[in-house]
Amino acid sequence: MTTEPRRILLAVTGGIAAYKVPEIVRDLQRDGHEVRCAMTRSAARFVAPLSLQVLTGATVRQDLFDPSEEGEIDHIRLADWADLIIVAPATAHILGRMSHGLADDLVSSVLLATRAPILVAPAMNVNMWHHPATQANLDVLRERGIHFVGPGVGELACGWEGEGRMADPEEIAAQARRLLGSDSLAGETVLITAGGTAEPIDAVRSITNRSSGKMGFALAEEAAHRGARVCLVAGVTALPTPAGVERVDVETAMEMREVVLAQLDSASIVIKAAAVADFRPEVREEQKIKKASLESQDGITLRLVTNPDILAEVCAQKGDRLVVGFAAESEDVVQSALRKIKQKGCDLLVANDISRADAGFNVDTNSVYLITPDGEIEEIPLSSKREVAAQVLDRVEKLRNEKPR
Ligand code: PMT
């Protein structure tokens, strides 16, 4: 993904991972971006301001009221200067200050004053990360559109193991590049399905699955960042609509099929990340089935009928469209997916191993294989769903270059 050189402010807060900040600076500078740093007083105890000053060639601002800085960029001008602000490492404390809108030092004031997108790379002890206060702050910040990268899982500097490690510098830089956007999918209309379907049994009950919609929504957000027009057909999910994405909500597989087929003419790329029910109850009772009416019987028998295969229908009328399917496999992942791509006829199949606790349904990470009809297999190791989405779209762009419209 290529972008014009942009202005990036790295806001460093006080955690041991601050020693990795120079790597983030260098990575972004290699793309030609102008990088400046601001830091909290505690951050300056973990990484020398002079190191960052030498690397960036600019004064590293630390104080809200620094007479020696008079005439230099103040916190408002710094907030306005940035096209993107990265907070790395981000402590539990800065997350709390951000969520409450506190502005009692330079970094928090810049974060409150800026209108630029903010990317946060949290780093802290596992118990601090899982504390309800931290999680509540994260919910508030996510709701406000703050972007997050990591934290990863592993051995922590405090001696504990678990979630809380700052994402790797390359992952932070890659996410920053994505947020700065590109126009690599400009002119394309991407139709994406996400979430599970719910197949009603009666007025209150339905058969559904554990899909959260996270994978499909990550694809929609990423495609929009790359300049595509995105139509997201969302099944059962609680997720907010990503910026710049058109969304149509559906419940059942039949509704999803109807919307997908209606949108197909305008789509140049179709990505089917939804977990569509293969079966639905033959009869949907209009009223709630009363427990009392069942007590005389020994249980209840539901007859299920087969739902249409939307992906196969889309592939049957593919034309010069690119069609990407997903495959949720719990065993023999690659072999099953190789069989599935032949049956369905899509250009790319993204196979996830749903037997893993950290991949597939209802988690923030995924681990997938990208499989092509000629048997080419590329593994994407465990990464955030946003990172997986980026790699899937990188591959889609490559296929588009090989097969122009
Ligand atoms: O939503 P998340 O919690 O983030 O979880 C992500 C995910 C695991 C749901 C996603 O990564 C995924 O694998 N989606 C496809 C799940 C699935 O239905 O797999 P499948 O192997 O049963 O179906 C294969 C393909 O056919 C899929 O593209 C599916 O959308 C499509 N399909 C299936 C049945 C059907 N009746 N119509 C279809 O179009």
User: Hey, which residues are catalytic here?
Assistant: 158
**CATH classification at residue 199:** 3.40.50.10300
Q: What is the pLDDT of residues 347-361, one digit of tens each?
A: 999 999 999 999 999
Residue with CA closest to ligand 1 atom 18: 275
Are residues 307 and 362 both part of a single domain? yes
Residue with CA closest to ligand 1 atom 20: 327
Q: Which of 368, 340, 337, 375 is nearest to 352 (CA)?
A: 368
Does any domain span residue 74? yes
Are residues 175 and 236 both part of a single domain? no
State residue 161's pLDDT score: 83
Tokens 């293969």 correspond to 278
Are residues 103 and 234 both part of a single domain? no
Residue with CA closest to ligand 1 atom 21: 327
Q: CA 239, CA 216: separation in Å to the nearest integer?
A: 11
Are residues 250 and 116 both part of a single domain? no
**CATH classification at residue 54:** 3.40.50.1950
Pocket test for ligand 1, best of 236, 258, 269, 272 (most atoms within 8 A of CB): 272
Does any domain span residue 405? no
CB 301 within 8 A of CB 294: no
Q: CA 365, CA 384: separation in Å to the nearest integer?
A: 4
Residue ranges, the chain, pLDDT below 50: 1-2
State residue 249's pLDDT score: 98
Tokens 């009223």 correspond to 287
Does any domain span residue 184? no
Q: How far is the CA of 392 from the centre of ligand 1 (A)?
A: 15
Q: Measured at the alpha carbon of residue 292, what is the angle toward residues 289 and 298, in degrees to the nearest 5?
A: 90
List Cβ neighbours of 8 (8 Å cut-off, separation of 6 or more): 28, 33, 34, 35, 36, 82, 83, 84, 85, 86, 176
Q: How far is the CA of 393 from the centre of ligand 1 (A)?
A: 17
Are residues 160 and 19 both part of a single domain? yes
Does any domain span residue 53? yes
State residue 73's pLDDT score: 56
Q: Which residues line ligand 1 (CB under 6 A)?
A: 195, 211-215, 253, 272-276, 278, 307, 309-311, 325-328, 352, 354, 360-362
Are residues 174 and 275 both part of a single domain? no
Query: What pTM value is reported for the model?
Result: 0.70
> How many other CB atoms are found less than 10 A from the CB of residue 270?
26
Of ligand 1's listed atoms, the one at least distance from the Cα of 209 is: 9
Which residue blocks in 57-131 are alpha helix, DSSP H? 75-81, 92-100, 106-113, 126-130
Classify burial at 78, counting beta carbons within 10 Å of its beta carbon; exposed 0-12, middle 13-18, buried 19 or more: buried
Residue with CA closest to ligand 1 atom 17: 275
State residue 3's pLDDT score: 59
State residue 153's pLDDT score: 87
Does any domain span residue 303? yes
Q: CA 62, CA 107: separation in Å to the nearest integer?
A: 8
Helix (H) or strand (E) holding 350: strand 348-353
Of ligand 1's listed atoms, the one at least distance from the Cα of 308 is: 36
Q: What is the token pair recorded at 330? A: 């719990």
Q: How far is the CA of 275 from the centre of ligand 1 (A)?
A: 4
Q: How far is the CA of 283 from the centre of ligand 1 (A)?
A: 24
Are residues 82 and 210 both part of a single domain? no
Does any domain span residue 404? no
State residue 48's pLDDT score: 95
Of ligand 1's listed atoms, the one at least distance from the Cα of 195 is: 1
Q: How far is the CA of 211 from the centre of ligand 1 (A)?
A: 9
Are residues 22 and 119 both part of a single domain? yes
**Of the residues 144, 179, 214, which one is the last residue of a structural domain?**
179
State residue 68's pLDDT score: 64
Are residues 46 and 122 both part of a single domain? yes
Q: How far is the CA of 34 from the centre of ligand 1 (A)?
A: 41
State residue 72's pLDDT score: 53
**Of the residues 130, 155, 179, which one is the last residue of a structural domain?**
179
State residue 292's pLDDT score: 73
CB 226 within 8 A of CB 181: yes
Q: Cα dist. 20→41, 124, 168, 193, 349 in Å?
A: 17, 14, 8, 38, 36
Pocket test for ligand 1, best of 219, 264, 311, 380 (most atoms within 8 A of CB): 311
Beta bridge pairs of residue 161: 155
DSSP per-residue string spanning 163-213: EEEPPPHHHHHHHHHHHH---TTTT-EEEEEESB--EESSSS-EE-----S
Are residues 174 and 196 both part of a single domain? no
Torsion of CA 91, 93, 99, 100, to 10 degrees: -160
Of ligand 1's listed atoms, the one at least distance from the Cα of 363 is: 3
Q: Which of 38, 33, 116, 109 is nearest to 82 (CA)?
A: 116
Residue with CA closest to ligand 1 atom 16: 275
Which range of residues forms the domain containing residue 371? Answer: 189-399
Does any domain span residue 258? yes
Are residues 75 and 125 both part of a single domain? yes
The helix/strand/coil state of 287 is coil
State residue 361's pLDDT score: 97
CB 29 within 8 A of CB 60: no
Q: Which of 151, 171, 173, 170 is nearest to 162 (CA)?
A: 151
Are residues 22 and 99 both part of a single domain? yes
Does any domain span residue 96? yes
Of ligand 1's listed atoms, the one at least distance from the Cα of 194 is: 1
**Of the residues 133, 153, 179, which one is the last residue of a structural domain?**
179
Number of domains, the chain? 2
